[in-house]
Chain A
Amino acid sequence: MGDRAYKVVSALLGSSAFIFLFLILGVLLIFSYPSLIVNGIGFFTRVTWNPNISGSVTVIHGIRAMSNASYGMLVFFLGTLLSSGLALLIAVPISLGIAVFLTEVAPRRVSFGLSFFVELLAGIPSIVFGFWGFLVLGPFLKVYIEPGMATYLSFIPYFRGPVLSYGLPASGVILALMIVPIIASISRDAMSQTPLELKEAAMALGTTRWETTRRVVLPYARTAILGSVVLGLGRALGETMAVAMVSQSAVNLLPTNFYYPINSLAAFMAQTLDSAFTDPTSMEVYALVELALVLLAITTTVNIIARLMVRQGFISSAEHVVQV
């Protein structure tokens, strides 16, 4: 009798994560349903987000909505992809540099100390990053870096000025700082598992330490490194607060140059939810929930890919050592 209760209770608790995920998915589907029906496929392609609260109430496909309201996710979707992509571009080389230094170059004691700081960085709350980005990083980039980029990269139309905001550059840098610890620590763990026999085999053939790292260690950890990058991407895609504070909150504005204000799915939801409740038809709330559904779909996909790659990486990355 006691064993039976034990089994039931532990099974319930054990599967709670699974249950929560499906409850959340269910709630998102139910609350975004009106928006899915009314806004249809245009939701994914439109630029304009206008709840048109001052208009009149009409009925579309049997669902109440404001007339002439427009709901499009494109600005936020693009902002999310651009800021996360820029973050990866910055974070991946830095993280790999950290991981290589910690596993292959630094003396053990130095490596131990530095690892601690890398992990501390991971523990900083995102609002703290946001404040720092808003007060220091954003103004610095806008005054010192962006004008230079606009001048020297003016042969690429996208990087031509005018310099308008912290926007994308600050968002990318902030996100990069937040995901460096993730990528660096997983890569370090994977690289440190390179069998000593393989490293010695390479060294005995007269490879330098750098060549050994490049031709044996990095290839050995390649899949796990790729997994850590995707895991970092997942974090960047869903980050709300720091981006909300530095992106300068673009609405109805496509980022046609590098210095435009942007917005992300997560940041826009947080910024807009409050005012959305003033919509008498609640359609704006439903539309925000649909944004959440899109974000959940993206991050879940990215996370599943990352998990598969990291797991694969630790078991069989040996199969993927690349050729010289």
Chain B
Amino acid sequence: MMKEEDRMREGPAGSQPVLAPTESLIELVELSAYYGSLQVLKNIRLSIEKNKITVFMGPSGCGKSTLVRTLNRMNDGVPGFRTTGKVMIEGQDIYASDVDPVLLKTRVGMVFQKPNPFPISIYDNVAFGPRIHKLAKNKYELDSIVRESLQKAALWDEVKDRLSKSATGLSGGQQQRLCIARALAVRPEVLLMDEPASALDPGSTSKVEELMVELKENYTVVLVTHNMQQAARVGTKVAFLYKGDLVEFGPASDVFENPKSPLTEKYIRGSL
């Protein structure tokens, strides 16, 4: 399996020589992760390209959520969690001792599986991050950050007349787009999305998917999903993980139409 993995890594670079190394924003170098003595990620090597949607896909317990949560050090507070190897963002190992995990999260934003707006107004949800980090000098600037963020999240038109209403009154899909707007408001470069549509109805799901595609113009998106259709629809590159191993990583079309690993093939056929 290691051999196939190696070939996969060679693959895209070999077939697409136009990709300059500077295109890669995040590099995972021999990344392993453990909860206590349980190893959940095994020597992961992959690179995440700028302004693309990189998808982590795999069955439950494959480590895809853990993997995405290492990219913003979200698991730091989990007792017993530790990593080895490196997560390089623009050449800087984010697990190095001189990196502030709090500030890191302003560069790498996150949207969660279950929409989790704060039970305060729509406006205050979006303004939460900018207020914490003092991104606005005055009310006018804050207003425009809130408006722009909601516009980017394709929610502005639906909520502009009720910004002071509680966010918990929104539908599930609207709440999730609000959470996206809230994440965008602190101006991250990377947006991590951990199964952002798995709690949504089909209509809301396709809205969120359209949104992801728009967002990659300005952000680097990392999507975790167990929905293969979704991965195929929006993914630029797809990583298939199984039991903590990176089984396959390549352009979405290659992974789905011409999987190199029998494991990937089985997963795509739904027989894993």
Contact = CB atoms under 8 A, between A and B. Distances in A.
B106 A202 contact: no
Interface stretch (B50-58, B108-116, B152-160, B261-269): B108-116
Interface in A161-214: 195, 197-198, 200-209, 211
A197 B186 contact: no
A197 B124 CA distance: 17
A173 to B, nearest CB: 36
A217 to B, nearest CB: 12
A62 interface: no
Task: For chain B, give the interface size range.
Answer: 20 to 34
Interface stretch (A73-81, A113-121, A226-234, A315-323): A315-323
B150 to A, nearest CB: 16
Interface string A75-91: 00000000000000000
Given A198-B118, A204-B74, A204-B183, A324 B105 contact: no
A150 to B, nearest CB: 44
A211 B103 CA distance: 13
A108 interface: yes
Given A321-B119, A321-B120, A207 B114 contact: no
B220 to A, nearest CB: 16
A204 B105 contact: yes
B119 A318 contact: yes
Interface in A228-264: none
Nearest to B115: A197
B119 A208 contact: no
A205 B124 contact: no
Contacts of B105: 203-206
B74 A203 contact: yes
Nearest to A320: B119
Interface in B184-216: 186
A197 B112 contact: yes
A107 interface: yes
B115 to A, nearest CB: 9
A267 interface: no
B270 interface: no
Contacts of A201: 112, 116-118, 179, 182
Given A201-B118, A206-B102, A107 B132 contact: no
Contacts of A204: 72, 74, 105, 109-110, 112, 183
A206 B79 CA distance: 20
Nearest to B133: A206
A206 B132 contact: yes
A158 to B, nearest CB: 39
Q: Is the interface of A mostly helix, strand, loop or mixed?
A: helix
Interface of A: 107-108, 195, 197-198, 200-209, 211, 215-216, 318-324
A216 B118 contact: yes
Contacts of B35: none
Contacts of B127: 324
A199 to B, nearest CB: 9
Contacts of B106: 205-206
A297 B119 CA distance: 37
Contact of A208 (B79, B102, B182, B183): B102
A318 B116 CA distance: 12
B129 interface: yes
Looking at A206, A216, A324, the one whose CB has the most chain B CB atoms below 10 A away is: A206
Nearest to A200: B112
A322 B133 CA distance: 18
A100 to B, nearest CB: 15
Contacts of A207: 102, 132
A5 B261 CA distance: 74
Interface in B82-135: 102-106, 109-110, 112, 114, 116-121, 124, 127-129, 131-133
B231 to A, nearest CB: 23
Nearest to B118: A321
Contacts of A318: 119, 168
Contacts of A209: 77
A319 B182 CA distance: 19
Given A204-B109, A206-B186, 8 more contacts: A201-B118, A206-B102, A206-B129, A206-B132, A211-B132, A318-B168, A319-B119, A319-B166
Contacts of B102: 206-208
Contacts of B168: 318-319
A50 B172 CA distance: 70
B119 A205 contact: no
18 contacts: A195-B116, A200-B116, A201-B112, A201-B118, A204-B109, A204-B112, A205-B105, A205-B106, A205-B128, A206-B102, A206-B105, A207-B102, A207-B132, A216-B118, A319-B168, A321-B119, A323-B121, A324-B128
A164 to B, nearest CB: 50
